[in-house]
Every structure is written in C-alpha cells, then in structure tokens.
Amino acid sequence: MNLIGSQKFTIMKRYIITSLFIAVVTFAPRLCWAQVTAQETIATDTIYANDTKNVALFFPEPIRQGITGSDNFIFTYNREKEQYFGLLQAKPGKESNLLIVNRDGSIFSYIVRYKAQLSKFNYFIPKSSSIGNERPIMNDSISVATAESKIDNRNYYYQKFSSYLLERKQGVGRIKKRTEGIILRVENIVFDTEELYFVIEIKNNSTLDYDLNFLKLSVETRQKGKRKSLQRLYQEPLFKYNLPSKIKENETARFVYVIPKFSLSNDRRAVLELHEKDGERNIELKISHSYINNPN
C-alpha cells in the first residue's frame, strides 16, 4: 500500500471510530433512561414487608392518611408535617391491605404481605397507579368530575375506613345501656379528617328478633333558668356503614355512623336513640361531652 492509500485508510478508520463513539454517547443514556422510567412506572399490586427492615413507599404527593387493615402491619408517616414517603413494617400473619390518601385526594390501595426475606426495600409509586380521587379533579377552574362522582369518591373512603374500624379491636370506654335483653353500646369514637366515626354495637340477648325502626344521634342542651328544659338538635349522618334492619335473637350487629365533627361544652351531651319497629324496647344512651371531645 502506497503512502496516499495508507493516509486515506487511517482517516477512514478514525472517522468510523468517532462515529461509533458519538452514537454510543447519544443513544446509551436515552436507552438507560427508558429502562429506568419503565421500571419506575410498573404498577405494584402487592407490597412485602417484615419486622426487621423498613420498606419505604414514595408517593407523587404528600401523604395525608395511611391505613392498614390489620394490626400486624404498621404504616408510619409524618402526621404533623406532610411528607412524600411512609415506612411499612409487618409481623408474621395473614395478608391485609394498605389504603393511602394523598394531599390532593388521590387514593392508592395495595395488598400487603409478610415475607421473611425481602428483595425490595423502596417503592416509587407513580400517579397512574391511583385507583381514584376523593374529590373532583379541577382543570382550568372547570370541574371535570360531576358532583355525583365527588360523593361516590367520598363514600368510597367512608366505606373503606369504616370497614377498617370494624376490624380493629379498639374501645373508647364503657358507654352502653340495656333494656329487655337489648344492649346498645358505643364501642369507639374516632376522629379522621373532618368527621367523627361512631362504632356502634347492638346485642340481642332476648329470644325475640329486634326490628330496627331508627337510630338517631342528637346533641342535648340543658336550658338554664327557673324553667329548666332540654333541647335536642339532630345530627344527620354523612354515611352509614353496615346498618342492619333486623337483629335476630342471640345475635350481635356492629356498624358505623359517620358524622360531621363537632365538640360539646360542659352543659351539653350527645344522645343515641334506638327505637324498635312495632315494639317498645327503646333505648336512650347518654354520651358525655368528654367522650366527644377526646375521640381516638
């Protein structure tokens, strides 16, 4: 090969090497980013945790509420200052569920299971995995969702949280009254967001079925003065969960009333009125203001 041919070959070789280098530099990062993006947007249905490691969940918006369906799963997050992540731990036991509500109203739901050996400790949850929103989505000050969808989303949250409360074994005190084998009991009072959740139990120890006519919650105010009288203001429930129409003999019914939050002064109290349909086994249960003002 002569000198001119050798120079041309060297120039061509450098050109090919330079072109390959530019191609690698240009497309390799895009390929890696595509792989990372694809990995991060994979929808997660089941999350595993144990009692020796913290499993971190990162959400697209700060966490406002985190609820597990069983006591052997613990989800901790900053309740005072909203943050984007929470930590999950688990004890051996049956699988349960985890419900998360973000600050913007986005709802996320997952199955959680115990696993002794974990292969993943961090979950980056994409916005697309949200199962819905408790509030209508606004776009350019125009509501995209209708008022009906807003109610449906809120009722869905009430239903999930009420179901969770019925599964928990937590009490607020001895608030009960009985008559003719019928026992009315307020098992728990829980405050969440802007509502009070009353976990109520009716036990029928009699040999006759109990047909429920109505169950009302009122606030009773004692009027001062020479002519003392009582004034009652009915509290309309926002949602009723698992309310029965009949409690058969020797059976127990547990259900939840969701009431807009309220507080009481010392001269006021709440009254739970239970009335039987076509019967007279009626109960009035008085609830002290201290229970209302100090819920769980």
Q: Is residue 3 part of a domain?
A: no
- Whether residues 95 and 183 fall in one domain: no
- Whether residues 103 and 180 fall in one domain: no
CATH code for the domain in which residue 213 is found: 2.60.40.1150
Q: Is residue 67 part of a domain?
A: yes
Domain count of the fold of the chain: 2
Q: Is residue 116 part of a domain?
A: yes
Q: Is residue 225 part of a domain?
A: yes
- Whether residues 275 and 191 fall in one domain: yes
- Whether residues 186 and 257 fall in one domain: yes
Q: Is residue 104 part of a domain?
A: yes
pLDDT digits (tens, 9 = 90+) for 219-238: 988 766 555 556 778 888 99
- Whether residues 57 and 125 fall in one domain: yes
- Whether residues 127 and 184 fall in one domain: no
| b/e map 212-225, b = 16+ CB within 10 Å | beebbbbbbbeeee
Note down the domain range covering 104: 46-133
- Whether residues 192 and 122 fall in one domain: no
| DSSP result, 187-221 | EEEEEETTEEEEEEEEEE-SSS-EEEEEEEEEEEE
- Whether residues 128 and 184 fall in one domain: no
First CA to last CA distance, the chain: 92
Q: Is residue 38 part of a domain?
A: no
Cα separation, 50 vs 91, in Å, equals: 6
- Whether residues 232 and 126 fall in one domain: no
Q: Is residue 139 part of a domain?
A: no
- Whether residues 107 and 211 fall in one domain: no
CATH code for the domain in which residue 126 is found: 2.60.40
Task: Note whether 12 and 84 are within 8 A (CB).
Answer: no
| DSSP result, 2-21 | -HHHHHHHHHHHHHHHHHHH
Tokens of 26: 């240009």
**Which pTM was predicted?**
0.52
**What tens-digit pLDDT sequence spans the chain (296 residues)?**
444 444 444 444 454 444 544 444 444 444 333 333 333 333 458 899 999 999 999 999 999 888 888 888 999 988 778 889 999 999 999 999 999 999 888 899 999 999 999 999 999 988 888 888 876 555 544 454 555 566 667 888 888 889 889 888 778 878 889 988 999 999 999 998 889 999 999 999 999 999 999 999 989 887 665 555 567 788 889 999 999 999 999 999 999 999 999 988 888 899 999 999 988 999 999 998 889 988 88
- Whether residues 289 and 180 fall in one domain: yes
Q: Is residue 270 part of a domain?
A: yes
